[in-house]
A and B are shown apart, each in its own frame.
Chain A
Amino acid sequence: MATTETADVATAAAEAVPQEVAVPAPPARGITIKPWVWAVVAVALVFPLLKSLVPDVVSDYRLFVISTMMIAGIAVLGLNLLTGFNGQISLGHGAFYAVGAYTAAVLMDKVMWPDFLGGGTFPYWLAVIIAAIVCFGVGYLFGLPALKLEGHYLALATFALALAVPQFLKYKWLEGLTGGVQGIVLLKPQPPCLDHFFSSSPTMCLPLSEDQWLYYYVLIVMIALYFIAFNILRGRNGRAMMAIRDHHMAADTMGINSSQYKTVTFGISAAYTGVAGALSASAIAFVAPDSFGFFLSITLLIGLVVGGVASLAGSIIGGVFTVIVQNSAQALSNFAKNDLGLPFDLSAYAVYGILLLILMYVMPLGIAGGIIMAWRRLKR
């Protein structure tokens, strides 16, 4: 009985997919976005402006935390594109996160913006775009050897990547750029100013605090990336990706160039996670090699599993979840000690481990998938 329950993520997800594919859906021009999505977006847009009205609910710190949640969501989304939708397991996405963060950080730290464009440091938004391009390249290149690997072997290769990256960032030759163990200290993104291009001390700036602006900035990037991912998956490319995941030989037979799809997916996935890394670099305003260890890759994996494999909305939920667990690690620890009477701390790492095990048995579709399943069952 247990074996059937524990059915797997990929097949369970795959079962969901053919339902959509099997029905030859009319080629949808223009998608209808459900009203509640608009509502969510509207609330998200208005939320920071309520700061002056209800300062108890909306504070700069809270906005910052929400921004980090969205960043984590983007990173998990990237991993999900690869693992969930294309079936390539990656235990090393922290590496691409690190590459993105460092690309952006080095650009902002070392490259000066030309004077005729206003001068000052390298603009953070351009750094994110370049980080995405660099990460796409790195991911694509890593995707080439990964073509020959499957399942456990791919997991092993990416596992090695995750372990090696912090060391590589400390490499002596790169120290001039990366700052070695010390890392790089950055500036937070400043609210944009209309007259930025004309004067060095602009005055017509958006009346937002740093954290409010960060929130909007991350929100815009997240919505854009989500939209792009949604569109990639909706069309023929997405179906090809999933066909490769479900049975790559059958996909080959159907004329899908599976090596190209796999490497490009690897690149896109790395670019997404790299963007998240770049955003986090400017949000936290600091990067250091040891914050990109194996733990980061596990965090992304837990986001994937919690949110649900092969679920876009689930990715964001998973990202939010990981940040909640990390931020409440201390509270969790106290809770375990004082209320549950456990004789030891409950670290975020332990929570992750236990959750990974439990979810694999109880909710192979992740929390989001599990809730949706439960809801459907209730509705019937």
Chain B
Amino acid sequence: MEQFLQQVVSGLANGAIYACVALALVMIFVSTDHINFAQGEMAMFSTYIAWQLMQWGLGFWPAFFVAIAVSFVAGVTIERVILRPLHAAPVLSIVVVFIGLLAICNSVAGTIWSYLIKEFPSPFPKEQFGLSGLVGAHQFGVVLVTLVVLLLLFGFFRFTPLGLAMRAAAQNPVSARLAGVRVDWMLALGWGLAAAVGAVAGTMVAHIVYLDPNMMAGILLYAFAGALLGGISNPGGAVLGGFIVGVLENLVAFVGNLIEKWTGVYIIGNGEKLTVALIIVITVLTVKPGGLFGRIAVKRV
């Protein structure tokens, strides 16, 4: 039972990361209908920036915020420079451009900082507490930071004029433009926010998975699974989906271990994590494309 709880709690911590990345994906998807395959690598790059700043002597939190600011600017720049000219392009071109971005981020990070695995510090104390030492402070901190980010974003979109303008631009670009919203800049802003949220996810997860240029591949896949599960058109749903997938991931491995212990037959374990994500992705896409909370896009022919 204790083990079970431990798995659930660490699943929630992982889920917080997936929720962050999923949220970043949804922010881009809602406004542009694009699935950003480079999201994970962008987050990885932001994490390297934070790491570099810390190497130069900054504390964790200053480095954290500077990295977020840099990511925000980079996100806006990418939208303005690379994706702006492709607004009317077909899906294949856009997917190819995303893959190109992914490759560039990955290889540039690799050449600047090398492919060696690096340790990434945690800003939280090392103690274990709660549930007789089940919850690590870092896990708790990750969940906390994620929730703060989510609340901030929620507040931003719900209560500020700019957030309202962004929602309008995403929902109905034509009317929003008629009402005086600068839709293009709202899209760029959405990209910037997505990059910033990704940076939060990267800096939070790097302590757990260690820092290397390929660290986000699996996380991105899980974030996709989470976003799809919750509904890729619904930010709240995507966040919840991220948490669900995080817990599910750990429980699958946990149940697999139990089965192996009882029957001696190995069916599933940590090695099959990505396969589980693949199954989630394909199942959700084919069985319930809208996800749990999303709306189904109706296309006019």
Contact = CB atoms under 8 A, between A and B. Distances in A.
Nearest to A347: B107
Contact of B101 (A156, A157, A301, A353): A353
Contacts of B97: 356-357, 360
B277 A360 contact: no
Nearest to A249: B301
A9 interface: yes
A360 B93 contact: yes
B96 A350 contact: no
A144 to B, nearest CB: 9
A11 to B, nearest CB: 6
B275 A164 contact: yes
B90 A10 contact: yes
B221 A163 contact: yes
Contacts of A132: none
Q: For this complex, into which size category does the number of interface residues on chain A fall?
A: 35 or more
A187 B19 CA distance: 48
B249 to A, nearest CB: 13
A168 B90 contact: no
Contact of A9 (B82, B90, B102, B218): B90
Contacts of B289: 148, 153
Interface stretch (A170-178, A226-234, A236-244): A170-178
Given A153-B289, A167-B273, A347-B110, A364 B93 contact: yes
Interface in A334-361: 344-347, 349-350, 352-357, 360-361
Interface residues of B, number: 52
Most buried by A among B33, B99, B110, B285: B99
A201 interface: no
Contact of A353 (B93, B107, B228, B301): B107
A155 B93 contact: no
Interface in B69-95: 82, 85-95
B111 A145 contact: no
Interface in A140-157: 145, 148-149, 151-153, 155-157
B271 interface: yes
Contacts of A354: 100, 104
Interface string B97-124: 1011111111110111000000000000
B102 to A, nearest CB: 7
Interface string B202-241: 0000000000000001100100110010000000000000
A83 interface: yes
A10 B104 contact: no
A125 to B, nearest CB: 32
A357 B82 contact: yes
Given A152-B34, A171-B272, A356-B97, A157 B92 contact: no
B266 to A, nearest CB: 5
A163 B88 CA distance: 29
A301 B93 contact: no
B281 A156 contact: yes
Contact of A155 (B37, B269, B275): B37
A173 B91 contact: no
Contacts of A152: 33-35, 91, 94-95
B273 to A, nearest CB: 7
A27 B14 CA distance: 61
Nearest to B85: A2
Contacts of B86: 6, 360
A249 B91 CA distance: 18
A171 B301 contact: no
B33 A8 contact: no
B278 A161 contact: yes
Most buried by A among B34, B107, B286: B107
A106 interface: no
A91 B103 contact: no
30 contacts: A6-B89, A10-B90, A91-B37, A145-B282, A145-B286, A148-B289, A149-B285, A153-B35, A153-B289, A156-B224, A156-B281, A156-B285, A157-B285, A159-B224, A160-B277, A163-B278, A164-B275, A164-B277, A167-B271, A167-B274, A172-B269, A305-B96, A347-B110, A347-B111, A349-B103, A349-B107, A350-B107, A352-B103, A353-B105, A361-B85
Given A350-B104, A350-B111, A357-B100, 14 more contacts: A10-B92, A152-B94, A155-B95, A156-B224, A156-B228, A160-B278, A164-B275, A167-B273, A170-B271, A171-B272, A309-B92, A353-B105, A354-B104, A360-B89
Which 4 pairs from chain A and chain B are nearest by CB?
A353-B103, A356-B100, A353-B104, A350-B107
Interface of B: 33-35, 37, 82, 85-97, 99-108, 110-112, 217-218, 221, 224-225, 228, 266, 269, 271-275, 277-278, 281-282, 285-286, 289, 301
